[in-house]
Structure 1
Amino acid sequence: MRAVVLHRFGAADELRLESTPDATERTGWVVVQVRASALNWHDVLVRQGVYRSPLPHVPGADGAGVRRDTGEPVVVLPSLHWGTDQAAPSAGFQILGDVERGTYAELVAVPAECAVPKPPGLSWAQAAALPLVGVTTFRALFTRGRLAAGESLLVLGASGGVATSAVTLAAAAGARVVVTSSSPDKVDRAKALGAADGVLHTEHDWVDAARRCTPGNAGFDLVLDPVGRWNEAVRALRRGGRLVVLGASVNDTARMDVRSFYFGQYDLLGTTMGSPADFAGLLSFMAETNAPPPVIDRTFPLDAAADAHRHLESGAGFGKVVLDHV
C-alpha cells in the first residue's frame, strides 16, 4: 500500500509518500480502506517527535473509508482503548497515529469499535474531518463543560477545527457563542457559522471587550480554551463559571492567582479526545439538531501531505485540512 512515512522527526519535508506493507487484521481489529484523512495539530506534534512515536511511522488520527471485511462505509474514531470509565481514559489509552500506524495511508487497522458507520449525507472529506475534533469538542462542551441552552460560551480562537466545531455545535444547542481571533475576517466567518459576536485577541483589552458581549458585562458561563491562555480565560468568566482546557498550542504553562480563583467559585476542567460513548452522543446530537458538518478549509492529495502540514502550521486556514486518498 501507499502511505506517508516519517523516518525521522522534524519539519514537514520529512513526510514522504512510500510503498509499505499492507495493514493487516488481527483479533478484534478491522482494516479500513481509507478514502480521506484529516489533519490535526496533534499530527504536527507527532511529526516533531513530541509523542516519541516509533520510527519509521505513519502519522494520522482522522480518517474515513470502507471496511474491507464488510464493505461498510465508516469513519475512524482515533480514541483507542478508552476503557469503561467515562470520567477519564484508561492507562492504556492511545490516540491513533501515536504508536499505532495512522490514517495517512491507503489502509489502516483499528479496533472494531473504532470503525463507526459513516453518517449519511457527509462527503468523504467531511466524514474524515469529523472524529477527532468532533468527539473532542462534544466532550469538552457537553460531557465536561455541561453547556446548556441559553448559556453563553466564549471560544478562544475562531479558525481551527475545534473552534469551528465548537461554534456550530454550541449554536445548535441554543447557546450564545462569542469567539476571539487575530483576524476580523475570521470573526466574520465564525459569525456566518452561528457565532453571535467576536473580538480581536490582539487588542490589549480583549477580555473586557469579550465580557461586554455578555448580559450586564458579567462574563461567560463557559470558556473553551484550546490554546492555553488560562489567565485571560478565567478573567472572562462570570463568577461560578467553568473553564474547559483542551490544548496548549500558545502556552504550555500558566500562572494563576489562587485566591481570586477560589473566591470566584470557578471550575477548571481538563479534557482531551473522548470515548466511544461521547462519539455516539455527538452523532445523535448532529442527527437531532441538524448541526452542520465540519468546515473544510482545503483538500490536498495524499502525496502532498508535507504541503498540507505547512498550510496547517501557517495558521492561514479556516476549518479542517484534508488529504484526499482517491
Structure 2
Amino acid sequence: MKAIILSGVKEPLVLKDVPLPQLSDSEALVRVKAAAFNRRDWWIQQGQYAGLKFPIILGSDGAGIVEAVGSDADQHWIGKEVIINPSIAWGTHEAFQQKASSILGLPQDGTFAEYVRVPVENLHEKPQHLSFEEAAALPLGGLTAYRALFSRAGLVAGEKVLVVGIGGGVASFALQFAIHVGAEAYVTSGSSAKIEQAIALGAAGGILYTDDNWAQQLREEAGGFDVIIDSSLGEAFVHHLDLMNPGGRIVFFGGTAGNIPPLNARKIFWKQLSLLGSTMGSPRDFAHMLAFVTDHHIKPVVDSVYPLGNAEAAIRNMDDSSQFGKIVLSLDGRYPIGEANT
C-alpha cells in the first residue's frame, strides 16, 4: 500500500510503498478515504514530542470504509463508512486515561496511508451529513474541544466563553460547539483575518492578543467570562484570572507559549475559580461528541485539502500557523497529485 513515511526528526514526509497492516483478532482494517493533520504531527516531525520512533506513519484523524475485521470482531462492520476515535485504550476511568493509553499515529502507525489498522472498539459510523474529508477533520480536535468545554468546564447555554488563539482545529471546534450550545463566544488571535472568520462563524467578537492592552479590551467588550479555553499558556495566562467571572473555569490542554507564570492565588480562591487540565477524551466523550455534531448538523472548518502524495507541502502550512481550521489529505482521487483545494 501507499503510505506517508516520516523517517526522522525534521525529515520530509515521503510517499512510499509499505506492507499492509496485519490484524489481531480484535482489530479492523480501514481503507482510508481521508485523513487530517493535527499540531501533534508537526511537533513529532520537529522532534519535540514524547516517545518518538522512526520510521512512522503519522496521522491521528481518519475516515474510511472497513475492509476486514479480526476473527473475534463483529463482522457487521465490514463495508461500513466509519470515523475513527484516535484515543487508543483510554481505560475504565472517565476522569483520566490509563498509563497504557496512546494516540493513533505514534507509537502505532496512523492514518496517512491507504489502509490503517485500529481496534474495532474505536470505530464509529460516519455522520451522514459529513463528507469523508469533513469527517476526517473531526476526531482528535473535536474530541479534545468537546471534553474541554463540556466534560471539564460544564459549559451551558447563556454563559460567556473565550477561545484563546482561534485558527487551529481544536479552537475552531470549541468555537462551533460553544455557539451551538447557546453560549456567547469570543476569541483572540494574532490575525485580524482570523478574527473576521471567527465572527463569520458566529463569534460575538474578538481581540488581537498582539495588542498591549488586549485583556483590557476584552474586559470592556465582554465584561467577563465563565469559561476560558486555552491551548497556549505562557505569560498571558496571568490575565485570565482578571477576565474570569466568579465561579469561572479555565481549561487548558497545551502549552505552545510556555509555562504558566506565577499566579495570584488569592484571586483564584476569592473568585471560586477552577483551573482544569484536559487532554483528548474518553470513549463516552467521543460518542457524545459525535451525537452533538450530528444533532446540530455541525460541519468542521476545513482550511484546505491535499492529495496524499502532497503531505509534506500540506504540513508546511503549519509552520507559521496561517491555517484556519483543519488541513486534510484526500485519498479518493478527487485531488490529483500536485493539486490542493483551498
Q: Normalising to structure 2: TM-score of the pair?
A: 0.90
Residues 1:252 and 1:19: Cα distance change in structure 2 (over 3 Å): farther
Does residue 263 (structure 1) correspond to residue 256 (structure 2)? The answer is no
Candidates 97, 109, 114, aligned match of 2:122: 114
Residues 1:315 and 1:84: Cα distance change in structure 2 (over 3 Å): same
Alignment correspondent of 2:205: 197
Aligned-partner residue type, residue 231 of structure 2:
P
Q: CA deviation at 1:91?
A: 1.4
Candidates 257, 267, 271, aligned match of 1:250: 257
Alignment correspondent of 2:7: 7
> For the residues of structure 1 that align with 2:32 and 2:294, how far apart are their CA atoms?
24
Deviation string, structure 1 residues 56-105 (Cα, Å, up to 9, x no partner): 11111001111112011101110000011111111111011110001111
Would you say the 8 A contact 2:306–2:314 is kept in 1?
yes
Greater Cα shift, 189-198 or 48-57:
48-57
Does residue 325 (structure 1) correspond to residue 335 (structure 2)? The answer is no
> For the residues of structure 2 that align with 1:212 and 1:175, how far apart are their CA atoms?
18
Q: CA deviation at 1:253?
A: 4.5
Alignment correspondent of 1:206: 214
Alignment correspondent of 1:46: 44
Alignment correspondent of 1:167: 175
Candidates 280, 293, 306, aligned match of 2:312: 306
Q: CA deviation at 1:306?
A: 1.0
Alignment correspondent of 2:139: 131
Alignment correspondent of 2:151: 143
Does residue 34 (structure 1) correspond to residue 41 (structure 2)? The answer is no
Aligned-partner residue type, residue 323 of structure 1:
L
Does residue 55 (structure 1) correspond to residue 70 (structure 2)? The answer is no
Q: CA deviation at 1:41?
A: 0.3
> For the residues of structure 2 that align with 1:148 and 1:35, how far apart are their CA atoms?
35
Candidates 233, 237, 245, aligned match of 2:244: 237
> For the residues of structure 2 that align with 1:180 and 1:254, how far apart are their CA atoms?
19
Gaps of 5+ in 2: 69-77, 333-342
Q: CA deviation at 1:235?
A: 2.6
CA RMSD of aligned residues (A): 1.3
> For the residues of structure 2 that align with 1:277 and 1:165, how far apart are their CA atoms?
18
Would you say the 8 A contact 2:129–2:294 is kept in 1?
no
Aligned-partner residue type, residue 33 of structure 1:
R
Q: CA deviation at 1:210?
A: 1.1
> For the residues of structure 2 that align with 1:9 and 1:184, how far apart are their CA atoms?
33
Where 2:233 maps in the other structure, the secondary structure is coil
> For the residues of structure 2 that align with 1:231 and 1:98, how far apart are their CA atoms?
33
> For the residues of structure 2 that align with 1:274 and 1:254, how far apart are their CA atoms?
27
Equivalent pairs counted in the alignment come to 320
Does residue 83 (structure 1) correspond to residue 81 (structure 2)? The answer is no
Aligned-partner residue type, residue 190 of structure 2:
S
Deviation string, structure 1 residues 108-136 (Cα, Å, up to 9, x no partner): 11111111110002111100000001111
Aligned-partner residue type, residue 206 of structure 1:
W
> For the residues of structure 2 that align with 1:299 and 1:86, how far apart are their CA atoms?
34
Q: CA deviation at 1:287?
A: 2.5
Identity %: 39
* Runs of 4+ that moved beyond 6 A: none
> For the residues of structure 2 that align with 1:232 and 1:111, how far apart are their CA atoms?
43
> For the residues of structure 2 that align with 1:234 and 1:64, how far apart are their CA atoms?
40
> For the residues of structure 2 that align with 1:249 and 1:182, how far apart are their CA atoms?
14
Does residue 184 (structure 1) correspond to residue 192 (structure 2)? The answer is yes
Gaps of 5+ in 1: none
Q: Normalising to structure 1: TM-score of the pair?
A: 0.95
Greater Cα shift, 277-286 or 146-155:
277-286
